Homo-oligomer: A and B are copies of this chain.
Amino acid sequence: MASTSICTSDLTSITVRGRDLVNDLIGELSFTEMLYFLSCGRKPDAAQAKVLDACLVTIMEHGINPSTIVARLIADTVPEEPQVAIAAGLLGIGGVFAGTSEQCAAILVELKKQGEGAVRETAERLLASGQPIPGFGHLHHKPDDPRSPRLFAVAERAGIKQDYTSLLRKLGAAIDAAKGRHITINATGAIGALMLDIEVPVAAIRCFSVVARSAGLTAHLLEEKSNPAARTIWRESRNAVPYVAP
């Protein structure tokens, strides 16, 4: 029989994962701790919360991109229901752009099972596939994605265990060696490893990205109200995609 262990309520109380929302959680947990608690079923320690905060801050905002363009256009046509614009923007947080943290984490989980002896072989197999390697390389940040070393430093300072981060760095070194040149570990790779090190399940990783991006979209919707860009985007898009007779 179906059941849920997330939340229930009665006349005078609300219970979330067995805790009293009012007395145990409101005012006691940060947003990030509550997100972790709700998703993982246990409270994070301070170091885990610190690292999760850093990951969420890192991916929250990406400027004018498909997701924010979509949110701004929808906000212009459905101005009274901002959740519709946010939802529309989030639809674009798909596997193509946002799935790489999760995919990188899946590679690391597999590698952990196989042991470090499999690092070189994995590196070679990934390169041989000819596909982009999840968590490696970056179109705009060269030679290195500046976010990854910062994230690793935050994790080190926080003092979390670094099993997967360490494995990711070894995989990176092996990829560099096999390729004969340096390929950066990008922010999505670093986040994939860090999420595992703070014991977030792989299936939660993309959802956490979506949560972080909902915050970024909020900023764009507010800016769109005071400094609208939607009509400009529409006009420029129409100009950039002219009609050609079939």
Contacts and interface: CB of A to CB of B under 8 A. Distances in A.
Copies in the complex: 4
Given A38-B216, A78-B94, A232 B222 contact: no
Interface in A29-65: 29-32, 34-35, 38-39, 41, 50, 52-54, 56-58, 60-65
Given A54-B27, A92-B73, A233-B241, A17 B246 contact: yes
Contacts of A133: none
A96 B81 contact: no
A159 interface: no
User: Would you call the interface of chain A mostly helix, strand, loop, or mixed?
Assistant: helix
A132 interface: no
Interface string A73-117: 110111111111011101111111110000000000000000000
Interface residues of A, number: 121
A84 B84 contact: yes
Contacts of A8: 63, 243
B58 A29 contact: no
B87 A38 contact: no
Among A87, A227, A238, residue most surrounded by chain B Cβ atoms (within 10 Å):
A87
Interface string A167-211: 000000000000000000000000000000000010110111011
A16 B88 contact: no
A57 B78 contact: no
A123 interface: no
4 tightest A-B contacts by CB? A8-B243, A27-B154, A7-B63, A2-B232
